[in-house]
Amino acid sequence: MDGLRDTKADSGSMAFHNEFGPDSIEAKDLKALLHPTTNLKEHAQKGPTVHRSAEGIYLTDNHGKQYLEGMAGLWCTAIGYGNEELSRVAAEQMKKLSYSQLFAGKTNEPSVLLAERLLELSPIKDGKVFFGLSGSDANDTQVKLLWYYNNAIGRPEKKKIISRKRGYHGITIASGSLTGLPAFHKEFDLPISGVFHLTCPHYYSEALEGESESEFVDRLVTELEDLIDREGGDTIAGFIAEPVQGAGGVIVPPDGYFARIQEVLARHDICFIDDEVICGFGRTGQAFGADTLGIQPTTMSVAKALSSAYLPISGVLVPDFMHEAFMSRSDELGVFGHGFTYSGHPVCAAVALRNLELMEEMNLFQRAHKTGLSLQSRLSEFRDHPLVGEVRGVGLIAGLEIVKKKSPREPFHLTQGVAAHCAASCQEAGLIVRNIGDVVAVCPPLIIDENQIDELIAKLSIGLDATLTWAKKSGLMT
């Protein structure tokens, strides 16, 4: 195994250990943890940032530095940190019923009430809810349920799934295949067969020279139709999409895009899987991204803000006609052979249910709509910044595209790490944002207020200006 070790990474680790001491939490992290979605060599050289505590929209590290949380964790801490009501509910539920399975017809009250509430909130009024623990397992479940459904109704050939480039739907084998980002495919032997990725609906980066937005939408619709004609509509089970593509760079599609896409899907009886893992529960200023973007989904995936990340939980919402097809095979197959040990975990469900109740009591969706307008307006001020090619977003989710030249658009090479430098500069200024390729993403907790938006903008401005100075000194731009 020694021959496989990276000497540079080892050297960086040792330097870090020497700086902080072998008993520091940083050194222990480097020794024990394998980090998700992280540059492992860079991490070994630089070491971790250790979060110690959090309250409201602020995080504090183990050196006492405070940061405004501009990414809601990973797009998930909608109601903010340290909510005592959710802590109380979790503790009480643990004492009352710390665990209960849903296998073999058993149930628990929090899961039932949460499922009922989700159906009331969602566009899928007459249906059922299947609970899991993450957005990844929710979208993995979506694939399995579509396959099961089409087998049940006698269409075993209708199994292929259409996704989109720059979409993010998870990291399990099936959901990772639906994801349209190369970093999640390379060396993992993904995507699996039967998954197709269409052009990302980002007019700014994907439009042809001289192509209008309506012509761009026409081209993307034609691309979908051509794929269906080539593969055969009788072989395609579903089309999956985030209303706003989050981890792909906060992509808001052009007007009319989803309406046109849905017309094509309906003609070929292809299910629309609405991935609301990021957009759901107020992020776009309405209950769901589907409400904001005019989507009529067949099924939905929810997670993240469902519990505001206080405990892991996800849900898949399916219409009654699919559930009836599942039941139709019961006499022959016996059990419906899908489920997780922690499906409908009563503590997770109780916290998620109270989280949704608090959102309603706080009028948080309406509040997010109002503060979202303020955030988008303030962010638009950066359109004149030399580094910013586009500012885009809706509600309380946004992205700033970092470019070398605005028009014609000329991006930096990703290996130059300009957006990553900007995210680091923002962190130095006390603001957590996330660089996604050449995009700086902003996604604060829904409880952010106007004064805190001002603070976010001020710190983001510091980060952008510091990055511009660095880029010029480094000869990356004039």
Q: What's the domain range around 291? A: 84-361
Averaged over 157-165, what is the pLDDT? 98
Residue type for 208, please? L
Number of domain units in the chain: 2
Considering the chain, what is the average pLDDT of its residues? 94
From 42-46, 77-81, 178-182, the region with the lowest mean pLDDT: 42-46
293, two tokens: 């973007």
What's the chain's Rg over C-alpha atoms?
A: 23
| Residues 57 and 178 placed together within one structural domain of the fold | no
| Residues 241 and 259 placed together within one structural domain of the fold | yes
Asked if residues 47 and 16 have their Cβ atoms less than 8 Å apart, the reply is yes
Asked if residues 221 and 264 have their Cβ atoms less than 8 Å apart, the reply is yes
Question: Does any domain span residue 12?
Answer: no
Return the closest-CA partner of residue 244 out of 290, 203, 205: 290
Q: What is the pLDDT of residue 14?
A: 39
With a cut of 80, say whether residue 168 has pLDDT above it.
yes
CATH code at position 312: 3.40.640.10
Q: What is the DSSP letter of 275?
A: E
Q: How many C-beta neighbours within 10 Å does residue 26 have?
A: 18
Token pair 């395609």: residue = 236
Cα separations (Å) of 46 from 16, 38, 56, 104, 305?
7, 12, 28, 49, 31
Q: What is the pLDDT of residue 11?
A: 37
Question: Does any domain span residue 28?
Answer: no
Residue type for 277, please? V
Question: Does any domain span residue 413?
Answer: yes
CATH code at position 54: 3.90.1150.10
Question: Does any domain span residue 463?
Answer: yes
CA 127 to chain centre: 24
Asked if residues 341 and 144 have their Cβ atoms less than 8 Å apart, the reply is no
| Residues 207 and 89 placed together within one structural domain of the fold | yes
From 1-10, 129-138, 272-281, the region with the lowest mean pLDDT: 1-10
Q: What is the pLDDT of residue 21?
A: 83
| Residues 231 and 281 placed together within one structural domain of the fold | yes
Question: Does any domain span residue 101?
Answer: yes
Pick 274 or 414 by higher pLDDT: 274
pLDDT grade for 6, boundaries at 50, 70 and 90: very low
The residue out of 345, 361, 377 marking a domain boundary is 361
The residue out of 319, 336, 361 marking a domain boundary is 361
Angle at 120 between CA 119 and CA 121, to 5 degrees: 90
213, two tokens: 């937005």
Q: What is the pLDDT of residue 408?
A: 85
| Residues 298 and 343 placed together within one structural domain of the fold | yes
Q: What is the pLDDT of residue 235?
A: 98
Asked if residues 138 and 316 have their Cβ atoms less than 8 Å apart, the reply is yes
First-last CA distance in the chain: 47
The residue out of 361, 376, 401 marking a domain boundary is 361
User: What confidence tens digit (pLDDT) does each residue in 335-381 have?
Assistant: 999 999 999 999 999 999 999 999 999 999 999 999 999 999 999 99
| Residues 224 and 352 placed together within one structural domain of the fold | yes
| Residues 121 and 249 placed together within one structural domain of the fold | yes
Q: 439-442 and 195-198: which strand pairing?
A: unpaired
| Residues 385 and 249 placed together within one structural domain of the fold | no
CA distance 214 to 166: 21
| Residues 274 and 409 placed together within one structural domain of the fold | no
| Residues 410 and 333 placed together within one structural domain of the fold | no
Question: Does any domain span residue 194?
Answer: yes
Question: Does any domain span residue 185?
Answer: yes
Sign of the alpha-carbon dihedral angle for 348, 352, 353, 357: positive
Averaged over 155-172, what is the pLDDT? 98
Question: Does any domain span residue 478?
Answer: no
| Residues 73 and 95 placed together within one structural domain of the fold | no
pTM for the model: 0.94
Residue 439 CB partners (closer than 8 Å, separation 6+):
249, 250, 399, 400, 401, 402, 419
| Residues 128 and 156 placed together within one structural domain of the fold | yes
